[in-house]
Amino acid sequence: MNYYSLNRKAPQTTFADAVVRGLAPDKGLYFPESITPLEASFFETIKDKSNAEIAFEAIKQFIVPEIPEAVLKTIVEDTLNFDFPIVNIDKNISTLELFHGPTMAFKDVGARFMARCLGYFNKNNTNEVTVLVATSGDTGGAVANGFLGVKGVNVVILYPSGKVSDIQEKQLTTLGQNITALEVDGVFDDCQDMVKRAFMDDELTSKMQLTSANSINVARWLPQLFYYLFAYKQLKGTYKDISFSIPSGNFGNICAGMVAQKLGLPVKHFIASNNANDTVVKYMDTKSYEPKPSVQTISNAMDVGNPSNFIRIQELHNNDFEVLKANLSSYSFSDTDTKTALLELFKDYNYIADPHGAVGYLGAKTYLETNDSHVVFLETAHPTKFLDVVEAVIEEKVELPKQIESVIHKKKVAIPINSYDALKSFLIERA
């Protein structure tokens, strides 16, 4: 499988090169040259397969033979050593819980998968690779945990000061070893802009090998397609039509779901559920794509004003707005709406959601006002990662799981920076 740049000004390349580079030389996102649908029998017998078997069959076309089948099977099994349960909310809505991994966020799968792929490609390489990543919340902790101790890989995480939850901050600032956290005086978009600028800085990239572990990296982005297959496995035969409501920030997760659809997964519709950061909502209404500075909300992992992966979504739909509109709806909800949904889920259904899942629930409800389907909303993080918000809304104490308990009392270690020049100086000193 070759990968091409969506800027279309760089040569095609291999999966290995796409993973190590992160971005193409023309600064475009990589995209697979083809997506071959799986055999119909794969979906007919999906209930008989393990999660690891499903995932391997779905992703191998994008990776084999650069990673041999036997190695890829091991990577998949190591990545997926936790559960992905469906929980019914009512007869029309259920949730897919994606928070049962080591950092209790959906990004554990992509981070663990990419770390193992990069470790394989780097196993005989004497040169170190620096993974440079911006986070609005859960990416940082998942990447830190996934890459901890990986040979030949250093991880530098940029996060916006005061704009991630206390637990999210602890998860990305307390591990040490090959993980360094940089606390940025700014918002997530500032962090993301610094990372993008670093990749475009010839002086910097001539001195060190940089790659990214945001969902712009194909090895972080593609494994997220597993979630939709796991949901279908559990729901097949129960509902005629299944749609998905995805809390969306950088749009990598929902984009991966659309890849699963291209593989043959029967999905009626996708719903991008957004907080106040409504760039895509307005685009779907106006056909005018106008990125803007991000707005801080209680669903902070979605505080993205210029979602990187939306260009991949457009590519999947042949850059045809009407085709995209037939497959995607997008709604925006306020913090007040989100808190109302958190309370409704708790009072009416005895379900404790996190703010991102609550936004997904709102998207499901809104879609069902005018459409018939069973809608699965993705619950992307454990509610205890947002204790201050969740406990204040439901007026109940939420018990801390062991994954959170293990980091909450550790000492934060982070380096403050306030400009790209400060980031560049830090990286060059380490080169």
Strand arrangement, sheet containing 209-211: 209-211, 129-134, 153-160, 179-184, 415-417
At how many degrees (to 10) do helices 335-349 and 355-368 cross?
A: 80
Residue 288 burial (CB count, 10 A): 7
Q: What phi and psi, each to the nearest 5 degrees, are found at residue 159?
A: -140, 150
If we measure between CA atoms, which residue out of 225, 152, 213, 162 comes closest to residue 188? 162
Strands 270-274 and 328-332: parallel
- Choose the catalytic residue: 27, 107, 240, 397: 107
Q: Catalytic: 196?
A: no
Residue 133 burial (CB count, 10 A): 28
At how many degrees (to 10) do helices 69-79 and 107-121 cross?
A: 150
Q: In angstroms, rounded to a whole number, what is the distance separating the alpha carbons of residues 152 and 129?
A: 6
Residue identified by tokens 């990968």 is 3
Q: In angstroms, rounded to a whole number, what is the distance separating the alpha carbons of residues 59 and 76?
A: 9
Distance of alpha carbon 122 from the chain centroid: 23
From residue 357, give the alpha-carbon distance in Å to each of 67, 221, 269, 300, 378: 34, 20, 18, 12, 6
Would you call the peptide bond into 65 cis, given omega within 30 degrees of 0 as the criterion?
yes
If we measure between CA atoms, which residue out of 88, 82, 97, 36 comes closest to residue 61? 36
Q: Which residues are annotated as catalytic?
A: 107
